[in-house]
Structure 1
Amino acid sequence: MNAVIEAECPVCSSQMIAPTAIPACGHKFCFTCLKGVCMNGMGCPMCRGPIDPSIFSLPSQVLDLKMDVPLSPVVVQDKYKPIEKRDTSPSETPAPSALNLDASLLDDNLPEEKMYWLYRGKNQGWWRFDPRHERDIDKAYNNDEDHCEVTICGRTYVIDFNGQCQYPKGVPTQRREVKRVSSADFDTMGVKGLAGVFVPTS
């Protein structure tokens, strides 16, 4: 089994989600990135070696189904920069009244509840979108857009918020149900995997 997140993916330049190695050469990529390359008839992005399509059949990895969006290498580097000390002068000392604010006034600053986007698999059951696609989908949803488009494995899909479905762009008859759920609801739905990768529950 592979780890949840490894080094930077050469295709998307982010930390890998469900890192998958090409048997012939050993180069690793995100599962969805590598599958998209293969579906477009290309070889290994690093050495142009052959990709065995069988590695995409019923893949299984130990993953955190609720994992967050992996950080880009630049953000990861900035995250661990030392914090510079500030020279606090008397003028910067908070006024006493500022230290006694009613907690109810701070409610607007509370973090929003994490929501997840799921799609129904071909053989029924629910699967979670890649966290990066999920982020883009939720952004469009929160902007009150009717739909958005995401590229998954090299193919563009339309996420129809009004119809609560997804379909390949230009092929609206090939619909799959999608759903936006809370963390509590997520735990009750028996989610099978993440971005096409099956995650064993035991």
Structure 2
Amino acid sequence: MGLKGSKMAPATSLGKTKWFQTSKKEDNSRFIWIYGNPTIKSGCYEFHPDLQDHIEEAFLAKKKTCKVSVFGTVWTLDLKNMKESKESAPPNSKKLKCIGVAGAKYAKTSGFQQSDDICAVCYDPSTIPTRIEICGHIFCFLCLKTNYILGNGCPTCRGGIPNSMFDKPIRADIDFDIECPSEYAVDCVKMLGPEPRKSERGSSEKYYWIYESNRSGWFRYDPKTEYFIEKNFKRKNKSCEVFICGHKMTINFKKGTQEIQGRIIKRKIKRIAASDIYKQHDLRGIAGIRTLNFPIS
């Protein structure tokens, strides 16, 4: 067993495979850390890029174990008793049967490739750009999810949207620290009016707003919603209303809750400093997407 403290099946193993990249000038080699079983049909996955160097350094330092946070769950990697692959091949080769990164399958790059990053729903640069593999069109993750929940197809071509895109999504290509598009920030200030600088509270330190998942763990709000919430908070408003995936919700700053209007459903919310993100080990990702991986020790 290569991973302790995880929810993975007993057959899961930790592996280190060496593969080679050849250039005209010289031969370069690198190591890729993988988990799973590369010899069976289900294959294995590369560890998230944010963990690769940490695991390699721990291995070279001859540590017996190292700890990492994977989607809000702390994993202890047993480097002493791991199973090591001796295959000299790229991790995505048929020989190794490596099928993705951090639980997310490799993205398909065939078919239509959209050249710009403007979302056809909100007309801002796509926030958490999400591509429909069937047609190749790209939108903000929440813009596309809202369209999907309403029973519509692709906003551009009306093609189908796979159910798998929003069923416990996992992504390894998202920068957790993604910022709110400047275009939306300008529109947001117009909606709320001039900023009352003297009445704003807080310092210049960067903060994130996170909400508790209905399963377990916490997620950061998408950058647009977060920006709107933060601006209302700094104006000392008691609450504000946001629309998320077609639902009108009330953010209650005093109670620290998110409430869906017309329902009893409530979720806890909180504001945390960006510098404290890596202390929140049960933080899973952003906007319902499991994406956050980081070293612990």
Give the TM-score taking structure 2 as reference length: 0.51
In structure 2, the partner of 1:39 is 149
In structure 2, the partner of 1:178 is 269
Counterpart-to-counterpart distance in 2, 1:71 and 1:143: 20
Judge conservation of contact 2:117–2:138 (CA < 8 Å) in 1: no
AA paired with 2:252? D
Cα deviation, 1:172-198, whole Å, max 9, x if unaligned, reads x21110001112222211321111111
Q: Is 1:9 equivalent to 2:101 in the alignment?
A: no
Judge conservation of contact 1:18–1:197 (CA < 8 Å) in 2: no
Pair 125,137 (structure 1): closer, same or farther in 2 beyond 3 Å:
same
The answer for unaligned runs of 5 or more in structure 1 is: 76-110
Higher strand share: 2
Q: Is 1:189 equivalent to 2:276 in the alignment?
A: no
User: What do you get for the CA RMSD once the two structures are aligned?
Assistant: 2.1
Cα deviation, 1:134-154, whole Å, max 9, x if unaligned, reads 110011111111111111112
12-21 or 35-44, larger mean C-alpha shift: 12-21
Relative contact order (C-alpha < 8 Å, sep 6+): which is higher?
1
Q: After the TM superposition, which residues 76-115 of structure 1 pair with which residues of structure 2 at under 5 Å, given as runs?
A: 112-115=204-207
Paired residue total? 162
Counterpart-to-counterpart distance in 2, 1:53 and 1:149: 28
Judge conservation of contact 1:8–1:16 (CA < 8 Å) in 2: yes
Which of 50, 54, 57 is the equivalent residue of 2:164? 54
Judge conservation of contact 1:13–1:72 (CA < 8 Å) in 2: no
In structure 1, the partner of 2:213 is 121
Judge conservation of contact 2:257–2:267 (CA < 8 Å) in 1: yes
Cα deviation, 1:73-94, whole Å, max 9, x if unaligned, reads 9x9xxxxxxxxxxxxxxxxxxx
AA paired with 1:157? M
In structure 2, the partner of 1:63 is 174
Counterpart-to-counterpart distance in 2, 1:15 and 1:164: 30
Cα deviation, 1:23-53, whole Å, max 9, x if unaligned, reads 3322111111100001111121101122222
Q: Structure 1 residue runs of 4+, over 4 Å off? A: none
AA paired with 2:181? P
Any idea what SS the aligned residue of 2:182 has? Answer: coil
Judge conservation of contact 2:128–2:140 (CA < 8 Å) in 1: yes
Any idea what SS the aligned residue of 1:72 has? Answer: helix
Judge conservation of contact 2:251–2:257 (CA < 8 Å) in 1: yes
The answer for unaligned runs of 5 or more in structure 2 is: 1-105, 108-115, 187-202
AA paired with 1:68? E
AA paired with 1:188? K
In structure 1, the partner of 2:234 is 142
Counterpart-to-counterpart distance in 1, 2:292 and 2:265: 28
Any idea what SS the aligned residue of 2:146 has? Answer: helix
Cα deviation, 1:47-106, whole Å, max 9, x if unaligned, reads 112222221112222222122112339x9xxxxxxxxxxxxxxxxxxxxxxxxxxxxxxx
Counterpart-to-counterpart distance in 2, 1:200 and 1:194: 8
Counterpart-to-counterpart distance in 1, 2:152 and 2:216: 30
Any idea what SS the aligned residue of 1:135 has? Answer: helix
